Each structure stands twice: as structure tokens, then as C-alpha cells.
């Protein structure tokens, strides 16, 4: 059994350790706020990046430049062209009866799509109940070409359906029955692409804060020579690491709250789930990315090395996270590698919580996975730090 003096001694040791950590955290905050460049990096740059990237990182096509080649010059061809002109996605760039002229404009990159209506289009449609038109799309950008093709097919299908319904009414046949579709769009009923991208951009920005700044801060201690001075003091290494990571962990969480407020005020971001659940998951996620940053700093000697290595991992994490394309569309080998990508977990969870209102049971698998990752990467970072000092 421990005596009262032994228990008091252990309690005093714990209190002293806690005071040491608090002093280190206080020192880090003082250094951060003394740096005149740090505050704009933490607050102003993410806000500007969020607003700019949200308008730039979009897969919506709103200004599709259309070249119409109408060799039929009939009322039916004009009705089809009017359907494209009424669409908010198309801009009628030019109009001609020469397909060669249109193809030349397409080669020059002046138009995105050619609508070629051949001669006799209306006559063939009336005689044979079917007719052909030609669509030529600039497919240098495969994603944009796929979207343009989808929009075009939808307009032509709508025009075709309208023609069929008119002909059925004219002939008096009644063996065709209209099929009525009732659809409901969940979670993003207005199909606002900004609502889909905004949570993903918030993840990317707080990752930069958590990974880059925590890694650069430790390497900066190496460059200034203060790390060797700290190592000869009675400060334990776990106290030093906690004192280094906690300030940026707090700043990153505050950054997330700040970006959510910006999203709500400027873009009316809906938050259907629990904010506490989101910040709880973000807390674990930040431990992972800060552990990665700490590990990178232990194998780097200069801030330039940290930037190069961090940039390498950041690009891989972002491109494979599902921010632009669904993870399910990636090859099987890429999906298996993506298991160790922390951004992929948080990218999925933040959209589930904010847009779907998912609860803890819905994200339990991701929470457990990130908790395991946090333990592993922080252990590796501490082990590597101890080995190199």
C-alpha cells in the first residue's frame, strides 16, 4: 500500500507535468500571435480560398457554346433549336448551313458542340416516324464532354417525347399511355453544387492548417537551434510534443467553426446533423493529420524539405479523397490504397453529417478507423522523434 506521502508525491508530479504542458502551450500561442504573417495565414487566406475555390471547383456546365448547322430549315428543326436556346446551359455561338465551317470552329476551340440537322429531317420524321441528327462534341476534356453529352441527350429526349405526344393526339390512337414520374431529390433538393463542394473544401483547408503548420513549427525549432536547448532541459519529450500539437489542434478546430460560419452566412450551408458530433470526429481526424505532419518533421531538417514532402502526401490524399470524383469509380487497387487515406474518411463523414444528418452509429466505422490511425501515426512520430534527438 502507498503511504499518504507517496500519493501526495505522485499527485504533485502529475500537477507539475500538467503545469509544464500548459506553459509550453502558452509559449506556443505567444509565438503564433507574435508572428505577423501567421494570423493572415490562419484566418484570412482560408476564407479567401474557400470563397474562390467554391466558385472554381465545380463540375457544372453553364456556358456551353453551341454551333448549329441547320440544313433542313423546317419548323421542326427550328423547334429543336429553340429547346437548346431556352436551356440555361447553352449559348448559341453561331448558326450556319455549312458543316465544314462548324468543324473548323470546333478545331479552333471556339465552340464546344455542333448540332447538325441534316436536310430532309422533318420529311423523314413524318414519313418514317424517326430521323437522325448529328452531335459533335469537343472531348479534349473528357469530364466536360460527358456532361455536355448528358445535357444534350436530355434536351433531345424531351423534344422527342413532346413530338410523340403531339402525334399520338393527332392520330387519335389511344394505345399509348403517359407515364408520370414523381421524383424527390434528397439532401440537396436544388442540386446546388456549392453545397456539395463546401464541406469538402473545409476539410482540405483545415488539413493544411493541421498538417503544414504543425510540421513547419517543429522544424523551425531545429533551424533556430532551440530544439537542442529544449532537449537538455527537464522537459520530457511527451510534454514537448503535446505542447507543440495542442495549439494547432485548437486553432484548426476554431478554423473549422470559422469556415462553417462563413458557409452559413454566404452560401446558406445547411447543417442537418449534430455539430458536436462533427467536431468530435474532426478532433480525432486532426490528431491523424497532425501526427502525419509531426512524423514528416522528424525526417526533415529544413522547412523546405517539410513543404516538399507534405505537398507530395497532400496531393495524393486530396485527389484520392473523393472531393471531385466518387471513390467508388476508382480502380479496385486505388480503393484498397485509399483505406489509409484520412481525407477520404473525413470527406465522407462531413458530407454525411452536414447534408444527411447522420448520427454516430452511421459513422462508427470511420470513427474507429481514424482512432486506430491516430494511435499508430502518433506512436510512430513520437518513436521517430525520440530516435533522432
Give phi and psi for 82, each to the nearest 5: -60, -35
Domains defined along the chain, listed by start:
64-171 (3.40.1710.10), 190-388 (no CATH)
Residue 387 confidence (pLDDT): 43
3-state secondary structure of 113: strand
Which residues touch 300 (CB under 8 Å, ≥6 apart)?
215, 219, 306, 309
Q: How far is CA 356 from CA 92, 200, 257, 349, 352, in A?
A: 38, 14, 19, 10, 5
* pLDDT value for 376: 92
Q: Where would I find the H helices in 299-363?
A: 303-319, 332-337, 342-351
Contact 291, 248 (CB under 8 A): no
> Closest Cα partner for 277 from 371, 352, 200, 374?
352
Residue 265, judged by CB atoms within 10 A of its CB (0-12, 13-18, 19+), counts as exposed
Rounded Cα distance between 35 and 46, Å, is 17
- Taking the CA atoms of 381, 383, 388 and 389 in sequence, report the sign of the dihedral they define: positive
Helix 75-86 vs helix 142-171: angle between axes, to the nearest 10 degrees?
130
CA distance 20 to 83: 71
Residue 208, all three cell numbers: 493544411
Which residues, including other chains, have CB under 8 Å from residue 88's CB and lie 6 or more apart?
62
Please name the residue that has the C-alpha cell 452511421.
362
DSSP string, 275-303: HHHHHHHHHHHHHHHHHHHHHHHHT-SSH
How many of the other CB atoms lie within 10 Å of CB of 332?
Answer: 7
DSSP secondary structure code for residue 273 in this structure: S
Query: Could you state, in chain order, the average pLDDT of each consecutive group of 10 residues for the chain (389 residues)?
Result: 58 70 78 74 79 74 88 89 89 89 89 91 80 87 81 88 70 49 68 83 88 79 67 69 84 91 88 93 94 86 84 86 77 86 92 90 93 91 65
The pLDDT assigned to 363 comes to 92
The answer to whether the CB of 346 falls within 8 A of the CB of 284 is no
Eight-state DSSP code of residue 232: T
Residue in the structure block whose three cell numbers are 405526344: 165
Q: What is the predicted pLDDT for the residue at 297?
A: 84
Helices (H), the chain: 4-34, 38-39, 45-56, 75-86, 99-107, 121-128, 142-171, 193-208, 214-224, 226-231, 237-267, 275-298, 303-319, 332-337, 342-351, 364-388
Question: Distance of alpha carbon 264 from its chain centroid, rounded?
Answer: 17
Q: At what angle do helices 193-208 and 275-298 cross, to 10 degrees?
A: 40
Which of 247, 235, 275, 350 lies closest to 31 in space, CA to CA?
247
The residues with which 134 forms a beta bridge, in sequence order, are 116
Longest pairwise C-alpha distance within the chain? 105
DSSP string, 190-226: T--HHHHHHHHHHHHHHHHIIIIIHHHHHHHHHHHTH
Query: pLDDT at position 46, please?
Result: 81
Please report the pLDDT score of residue 280 as a whole number: 95
Q: Chain-centre distance of CA 163, in angstroms?
A: 41
pTM: 0.77
Amino acid at each position: 500500500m502507498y503511504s499518504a506521502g507517496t500519493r501526495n508525491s505522485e499527485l504533485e508530479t502529475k500537477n507539475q507535468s500538467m503545469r509544464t504542458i500548459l506553459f509550453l502551450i502558452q509559449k506556443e500561442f505567444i509565438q503564433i500571435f507574435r508572428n505577423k504573417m501567421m494570423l493572415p495565414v490562419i484566418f484570412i487566406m482560408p476564407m479567401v480560398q474557400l470563397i474562390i475555390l467554391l466558385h472554381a471547383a465545380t463540375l457544372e456546365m453553364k456556358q456551353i457554346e453551341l454551333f448549329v448547322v441547320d440544313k433542313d430549315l423546317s419548323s421542326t428543326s427550328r423547334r429543336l433549336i429553340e429547346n437548346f436556346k431556352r436551356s440555361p446551359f447553352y449559348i448559341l455561338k453561331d448558326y450556319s448551313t455549312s458543316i465544314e465551317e462548324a468543324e473548323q470552329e470546333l478545331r479552333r476551340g471556339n465552340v464546344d458542340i455542333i448540332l447538325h440537322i441534316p436536310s430532309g429531317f422533318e420529311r423523314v420524321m413524318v414519313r418514317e416516324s424517326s430521323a437522325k441528327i448529328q452531335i459533335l462534341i469537343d472531348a479534349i476534356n473528357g469530364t466536360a464532354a460527358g456532361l455536355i453529352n448528358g445535357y444534350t441527350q436530355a434536351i433531345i429526349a424531351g423534344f422527342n417525347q413532346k413530338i410523340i405526344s403531339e402525334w399520338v393526339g393527332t392520330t387519335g390512337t389511344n394505345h399509348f399511355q403517359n407515364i408520370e414520374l414523381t421524383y424527390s431529390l434528397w439532401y440537396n433538393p436544388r442540386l446546388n453544387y456549392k453545397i456539395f463542394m463546401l464541406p469538402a473544401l473545409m476539410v482540405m483547408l483545415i488539413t493544411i492548417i493541421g498538417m503544414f503548420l504543425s510540421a513547419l513549427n517543429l522544424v523551425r525549432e531545429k533551424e533556430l537551434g532551440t530544439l537542442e536547448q529544449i532537449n537538455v532541459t527537464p522537459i520530457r519529450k511527451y510534454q514537448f510534443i503535446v505542447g507543440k500539437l495542442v495549439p494547432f489542434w485548437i486553432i484548426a478546430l476554431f478554423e473549422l467553426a470559422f469556415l462553417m460560419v462563413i458557409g452559413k452566412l454566404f452560401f446558406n450551408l445547411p447543417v442537418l446533423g449534430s455539430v458536436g458530433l462533427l467536431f468530435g470526429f474532426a478532433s480525432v481526424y486532426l490528431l491523424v493529420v497532425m501526427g502525419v505532419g509531426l512524423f514528416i518533421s522528424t525526417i526533415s531538417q529544413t522547412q523546405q524539405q517539410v513543404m516538399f514532402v507534405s505537398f507530395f502526401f497532400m496531393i495524393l490524399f486530396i485527389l484520392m479523397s473523393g472531393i471531385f470524383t466518387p471513390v467508388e469509380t476508382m480502380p479496385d487497387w486505388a480503393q484498397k490504397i485509399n483505406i489509409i487515406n484520412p481525407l477520404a474518411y473525413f470527406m465522407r463523414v462531413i458530407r454525411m453529417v452536414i447534408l444527411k444528418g447522420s448520427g454516430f452509429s452511421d459513422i462508427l466505422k470511420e470513427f474507429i478507423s481514424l482512432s486506430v490511425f491516430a494511435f499508430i501515426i502518433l506512436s510512430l512520430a513520437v518513436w521517430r522523434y525520440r530516435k533522432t534527438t
